[in-house]
Structure 1
Amino acid sequence: MRLRPFQQVDVFTATPYRGNPVAVVLDGEGLTTGQMQQFTNWTNLSEATFVLPPTQAGADYQLRIFCPGRELPFAGHPTLGSCHAWLEAGGRPKGEYVVQQCGVGLVKIRRDEDRLAFAAPPLRKGGPLPEEELALIARGLGVARSDIVGHAWCDNGPNWRGVMLKSAERVLALKPDGNVLSGLDVGVVGPRGKVGVVGSRGADDECAFEVRAFFPGNNGMAEDPVTGSLNAALAQWLIGAGLAPERYVASQGTALGRAGRVHVQRDAAGEIWIGGASVTCIAGTVRV
């Protein structure tokens, strides 16, 4: 073990402790998968990442992303938080974009004034969910099947299942049953503001949607404060289906006392970008 440069970054917020934190070890060379997993479990955060030299042409760095118990091929808030830490530590991209190598391949990250944004990786699986899973999800969320007004596979590495409820209020009121939803990663979205035809909350609302993300945790069902991968997949589904405009802001973390803001945009080329502010809360070294 040795001391390595380290940052803990709060993502999808410009205000410390209001977003979703990620632990970033900026020098992961020489660490085994087991050591990375052990450190991740110890942090008790939803994810920890390890920056390594790239092995693919065109990449600026390689990122390995872990959550408690397993490695992930991709995750959104660790991507933005790690890029933020890499740039703060003096990293310089080779080209117009920062290019991250990870389990899903190369991911482009652009700098938009006061925030970073990643290009949403392609969905590994899309299309409607099977009816038997929808019945299970509805029961696990404690809602009627008729309350689910839209649904789709949202698998872009993490195997999310996306469902839309009638309103943001319904989303915020959820009290999921972890015994019923065991083994499922479920993302729930509810319209806010004037988007779509359901859940209007008035023209003065800055956010179009309220999002919540539920997944199996070490102690039953867990909830993620703000989820980049889920919002990326939801955007591909919602914009593609005409359920959301090509540019919007999603709110996530409200039910946990956070105030995450996820900026979504489909550009002229049809590429979807998921962005948010990041702020370093801890900087120094860590013994790994």
Structure 2
Amino acid sequence: MTPASSVLLLTTLTGFGYGLLAWLGVFASARALPASPWFVPVAVVIGLAFASAGLLASTLHLGRPERAWRAFSQWRSSWLSREGVASMLTYPPAMAFAALWWLMGPGAIATRAVGLLAAILGMVTVFCTAMIYASLKPIRQWHNRHTAPDYLIFALFSGAVLLAALLGMWFGHVLIAGIVAVIAALIGAGAKLAYWRFIDAQSPLATLASATGLANFGMVKPLDQPHFTENYILREMGYQIARKHAARLRRIVLIMAFLLPALLALIATFGVLPAIAAPLAVVLAGAGLFIERWLFFAEATHVSALYYGRAA
């Protein structure tokens, strides 16, 4: 599939935003955040800013962006619509969480309850985003048991790194958020490796012989190409990336998105320049996850490409 920059921004930025909201809610419920009256309100605004930027970026690839609101009406059958509805439902409790933290303090039951609600809705939104791709049966690299859990893991990882960075810059220490970021980074790296092993070993969904119903006659080859010029299917669904480039990008993803942020988060946890190490971890994680999202789309193959002599 051709990677669209707008969708790459959507899946990367919303992961940071909703992941941060999730950890804020969890940490607040466990009373593991500093009792500063301004920290959580500012952090919530930052999380919503990341999420909003991603959601707005997603409209850039629409032919008629002004009609995007119509997607909300199809929530009974469309994961895209459910994503939009869930994202909107997250805003009120997130803003209420920030307001209650400032007005009633971190110890209030209402503050912690609303924070958990915002955390849950944020993760529900990420899950809906993941299911947009996991529900597409013609694309084997997406329609599998790894896609949805990976989206959730990467959101929690990026949110933990962002929370550690905010704590490091605000208070000069990252508390337990640094350890959480390290653990989440290692889990994310393991999940990504498992995903790559799965798609590399997975058999194609179909062959040209099975797609044409001629499998009993042996190997099937097209006599001529369906089209001699570029068309929509080749442009949007027939994108190819060389194996050597994919292998190189996979190594870059593991190092930049997970291993280096984990190392920096660990350094920040031990109190070594946390105001520098933790934000640098966010920058590397963001760049690495953006490449990971690009590779997630670039390696996906649609079964329609079979008719153009390409494997699916």
Higher strand share: 1
State TM-score, norm by structure 2. 0.26
More helix by share: 2
